[in-house]
Amino acid sequence: QVQLVESGGGLVQAGGSLRLSCAASGRTFSSYAMGWFRQAPGKERELVAAINWSGGNRYYLDSVKGRFTISRDNAKITVYLQMNSLKPEDTAVYYCAQGQGSEILYNKYQYRYWGQGTQVTISS
């Protein structure tokens, strides 16, 4: 069993920054890819960023490239999402998830364990 707990969400003005954290427990964290997803009201859950087991390979949704950075600290069993230059369209519930393999996975159905989500609201 794996538990994932997100933190760091909140309400910020457009142009601001937030740093999300996801603390993990359970099965070996460092062996698995991690992802950050988001879901806005009435929309599908989408993959925002993902990182492989070592941190050497990363993926970003086109709309967040250059603004968001995913990282992981395997010693602290935590994955981060640094979000800069935030826009109102970034407003959503953000979830971290652990993949079923060590390399980056792009389909939400390939992620087995999920956190409870943290709300991010960007005001214009």
- By the 8 A CB rule, do 24 and 77 touch? yes
Q: Which residues contact residue 83 at a Cβ distance below 8 angstroms, ignoring those fewer than 6 apart?
A: 17, 18, 19, 20, 64, 67, 68, 90, 120
Dmax of the chain from CA atoms?
41
Q: What is the pLDDT along the chain (124 residues), one digit of tens a residue?
A: 899 999 999 999 999 999 999 999 876 788 999 999 999 999 999 999 999 999 999 999 999 999 999 999 999 999 999 999 999 999 999 999 999 999 999 999 999 999 999 999 999 9
